[in-house]
Structure 1
């Protein structure tokens, strides 16, 4: 069963734990209680929030990241669980010793990212032939930068020739930023659950980035966020507000295919992360990527609920 992304947006809330439940309070009034084992990640996206030490310990024991977001709705700090996963040490050793696998893994990540970008355009009846060509030309470690070439083509077709991907801009870019924050947090949880070390990236190597591996693994799923944002924009919903945040926060539940079997985006992401862990440990030779994007009708239904 897919875990929930729990986002706290209201100010002056207090979070604590009682008998296996995370309790959300406003003063002495209990507003909600959620089973700890149903939570995938907690996003603290409000001012004046207080959290009990006992809850933080409980989240850590259950491999649940606690993410603190800043003004731009991007993570500023993450509390990572470091215990409770017997594979963690073995995976860390394997990630270091088998770093030679990274070129192959990155090649497959970029191929599948471009394929998903192509599928998104195709679902919207936009010419995608160029992306199909670029996906076939990706080489080891993508040393010819087909990812960049694909992005230039993709963004201009999806949101128009005047659109520029800029993290500091409002409107479409702010919706993408928020959606990627959710996706990044989901990926972080998957990494911790599978015992991988998030500091050991495949392509990303910035020493100041504590989520290098998450930024690598989430790449093939970015187009699913783009697809959802496209429909938000189509309905003239260009601002980060309660409605758009709710739509983007629920992306993990959207249906898609994994190994040609109907699943959810959350399950597909977990499957890919687990297969990367197994590849490093020598337990498999195949990575499990999404085999089909989210059907447009489900996107529309998702936005209506």
Structure 2
């Protein structure tokens, strides 16, 4: 399993040498064994990657994230047929029972909301708002039919960034969240596809124009962890621009540790294990198998 995320900036060039990815940067050559690479992130209009490199990256199950001219991730390249029984798993996924999908979404969204509450409490949000968030969490219906998630999001973000704040607002915190969430999305897509799941068939998200409905479902518990990480790293500084260094910091979220089932693992590995536990829960129809992704487990590992 790869563990390195390679960030290729504007003007850097890439080559293959045997089973190594060579990167030419400012007159220096860096060589990374392909088995060590998990993801490659490309940005800049002058960055060039060849078909030969893309083919080899796909063979090694390395995902490629392409960024636009505003440095925001715009696309994901994933290899085909990474799982040895992909057709069997795809057929199984298309036959998921609606009640089972509702139960899965209820468990996932509850984890997300509990992590939001954990971060809000950490930030010292006033007691009345915390009680409101907890009441909303307790009121979740099967499949979250009453959209408690949406109500929680409004209280949560208004508590963190002020009344009137929306996720559509053009501001630095939103730029950080957009970039950070895109990094989580790309990593979760890699994890899901590597285990034979079809990313477009979700348990809750069902947009016919979205190729990553399932990914948007499974990544939810990790979003509040990114919110905390953003506050602890890039938002604690005075500069209000998503610089190259800040983008590297957000990418490094995947290399942070979290405690899951009393075991400390890196976030990128926790995502793959979360997907694997999701599959086991869906197969057995027992959601006690679903891993708990907790805010406290992330904060504990971040302490020096």
Deviation at 1:89, TM superposition (A): 1.9
1:44 to 42, 45, 48: 42
Q: How does 1:57-136 map to 2 (within 5 A)?
A: 57-100=55-98, 101-126=100-125, 127=127, 128-136=130-138
Residue 144 of structure 1 corresponds to 146
Deviation at 1:2, TM superposition (A): 6.5
Residue 277 of structure 1 corresponds to 279
Residue 180 of structure 2 corresponds to 179
Deviation at 1:46, TM superposition (A): 1.7
Q: How does 1:211-290 map to 2 (within 5 A)?
A: 211-231=212-232, 232-282=234-284, 285=287, 286-290=289-293
1:209 aligns with 2:206: no
Residue 4 of structure 1 corresponds to 4
CA separation of 1:90/1:289 partners in 2, compared to 1, >3 Å: closer, same or farther? farther
User: What is the total number of aligned residue pairs between the two structures?
Assistant: 297
CA separation of 1:7/1:75 partners in 2, compared to 1, >3 Å: closer, same or farther? same
CA distance in structure 1 between the aligned counterparts of 2:133 and 2:297, rounded to whole angstroms:
15
CA distance in structure 1 between the aligned counterparts of 2:28 and 2:183, rounded to whole angstroms:
26
CA distance in structure 2 between the aligned counterparts of 1:85 and 1:283, rounded to whole angstroms:
22
CA separation of 1:268/1:297 partners in 2, compared to 1, >3 Å: closer, same or farther? closer
CA distance in structure 1 between the aligned counterparts of 2:273 and 2:73, rounded to whole angstroms:
24
Q: TM-score, normalised by structure 1?
A: 0.89
CA distance in structure 2 between the aligned counterparts of 1:204 and 1:42, rounded to whole angstroms:
27
Deviation at 1:208, TM superposition (A): 2.3
Residue 14 of structure 1 corresponds to 13
Deviation at 1:289, TM superposition (A): 2.4
Runs of 5+ consecutive residues of structure 1 not aligned to the other structure: none
CA separation of 1:34/1:178 partners in 2, compared to 1, >3 Å: closer, same or farther? same
Deviation at 1:228, TM superposition (A): 1.8
Deviations 1:106-127 (A, max 9, x none): 1111100000001111222324
Partner SS for 2:61 = coil
Partner SS for 1:240 = coil
Q: CA-atom RMSD, angstroms?
A: 2.3
CA distance in structure 2 between the aligned counterparts of 1:67 and 1:190, rounded to whole angstroms:
14
Partner SS for 1:32 = strand
Deviation at 1:39, TM superposition (A): 1.8
Partner SS for 1:117 = helix
Deviation at 1:181, TM superposition (A): 1.3
Partner SS for 2:298 = coil
Runs of 5+ consecutive residues of structure 2 not aligned to the other structure: none
CA distance in structure 2 between the aligned counterparts of 1:290 and 1:33, rounded to whole angstroms:
35
Q: 1:175·1:239 contact (CA, 8 Å) conserved in 2?
A: no
CA distance in structure 1 between the aligned counterparts of 2:55 and 2:246, rounded to whole angstroms:
31
Residue 191 of structure 2 corresponds to 190
Deviation at 1:151, TM superposition (A): 0.5
Partner SS for 1:23 = strand
Partner SS for 1:40 = strand
CA separation of 1:296/1:284 partners in 2, compared to 1, >3 Å: closer, same or farther? closer
Task: Single out whichever of 256-265 and 219-228 deviates more from structure 2.
Answer: 256-265
Q: 1:12·1:49 contact (CA, 8 Å) conserved in 2?
A: yes
